[in-house]
Amino acid sequence: MKKNFFSALSFIGVVVMSGVLFITAKKEVFAYPSVFPTGVTINKPEAYQGYTMFAINKNKNTTSTISIIDMEGNELHKWEIETAATMHNYLLENGNLVSNIRSKEKCPVMGCLSAIEERDWYGNVVWKYENDHLHHPAGVMPDGGIVAIYWDTLPEDLNEKIMGGVSATEGKGNKISTDVIRIINRNKEVVWEWYPYKQLNISEWVLSPQEMRNYWPNINRVKYLSADNPFNHKESLLVSFRKVNTLAIIDMETKEVVWRWGEKDIAHQHDPHLLDNGNILVFDNGYDRVEPNKKQFSRILEINPRVNKIIWEYDGSGINSAAGFGFYSFIGGFVERLPNWNSLITESNTGRIFEVNQAGEIVWEYVNASPGVDSVFRFDPDKVNWPEKPSLPIINDKKIFAWVTTRPMLVGWLVALVLLVLKLKTTFKK
């Protein structure tokens, strides 16, 4: 009997190790989650209840899948864009999807786009705007217009006014690329535009020391602020200038910068938001921080723009990280302040999405099976006029297979448990 017991115990060890091997052999997960399976790994009651949308580019960035999941990670709906990858997607109140389509051609700046497309619930393109000078995410305005970022070439006589960057790294032919912000209406007409080299004192917007001088100032996000916004109660734009580590607000009427912050505080940031309380939330990527001996880590900042002070910060290095390491996404990265005042954070490079409360506790977490998560939003399903209300899919053989292959740890332990029960049953019968 004792021999049988130790035989069973040894078998348990083998089964456990087999389960671990099954998990790790499946695929490396490029993330730093609190626990290690993919899918939803944390789901506490205090998380903001809603649906989450996110996108994954596949096949070497030639196709894109945009999914809507519930709090348990069940996929409720998806759009498959088989002709191109997307950079960013927005869900409209009518259930349509607006996508920024990545360019298949090279352009002199980062984040090249070829078009902006709107699709209905069933994937049909109902509106399209094409321009080969688009780059980075375009946003949708309340009236349906589009605020977009374009690339252009800086007039050569202004080259010497560009300060900072690595010496002698201008583009071919001594060219320096620059940006233009334009607003287009649904008839595809330009109704407003803004040139940084015409409106800014160029020499005061200094490139980060490690940046090449072939591109200035690298606008990577523009958010439209309506006339009732809590910052200045005027139609404005909140703009992120990545290569000069700066956030700014532009008065649309005067085209002047009315607020500017960040040069010594943030590093290659993304995705700023003006909150209802008048503060600004941003994903501070932390890539090549200027300060000496600073580790590269990402963090979320809430800034009071009236006094230019950071009033809330989350870097993940507290109660959720025994090793002192929080999270890091050197490019991309998203943050959303939810109605319950929690923050939904996207670590784009690793494929991890997580929600933290004001105390910095993770209350919801989702780890995708592959890195490169984009277009992440959490929303109240009752505030969308769905053509068809999303619901759990009917389980068929294909979906069972997908469920099994995307939950390797759970499947591994279930297999181990079944084998253990069978072994114990056989052992104690002897």
CATH code of the domain in which 167 resides = 2.120.10.30
**Coil/strand/helix, residue 212:** coil
pLDDT, position 132: 96
Rounded CA gap, 244 and 259, in Å? 15
Q: 323-368: per-residue pLDDT in tens?
A: 445 788 888 999 999 999 999 999 998 889 999 999 999 999 999 9
pTM (predicted TM-score)? 0.83
Please give the mean pLDDT across all residues of the chain: 86
Asked if the model's pLDDT at residue 101 lies above 50, the reply is yes
Residues with Cβ within 8 Å of residue 121, at least 6 apart in sequence: 77, 95, 96, 386, 387, 388
Q: CA geometry: angle at 378 spanning 375 and 381, to 5°?
A: 120
Q: For residues 228, 231, 203 and 178, what is the CA-based torsion angle, rounded to 10 degrees?
A: -40
What DSSP character marks residue 392?
A: P
Q: What pairing do the DSSP bridges indicate for beta strands 334-337 and 343-347?
A: antiparallel
Q: For the chain, give the percent of residues with pLDDT over 90.
A: 70
* Greatest Cα-to-Cα distance within the chain, rounded to the nearest angstrom: 91
Q: Does residue 32 lie in a domain region? A: no
**Cβ atoms 57, 375 nearer than 8 A:** no
Number of domains in the chain: 1
For residue 388, the enclosing domain spans 38-406
Q: What is the mean pLDDT of residues 158-186?
A: 96
Q: How high is the pLDDT of residue 391?
A: 81
pLDDT class for 295, splitting at 50, 70, 90? low
Residue 251 has pLDDT above 50, yes or no: yes
Domain assignment present for 13: no
Is 235 part of any domain? yes
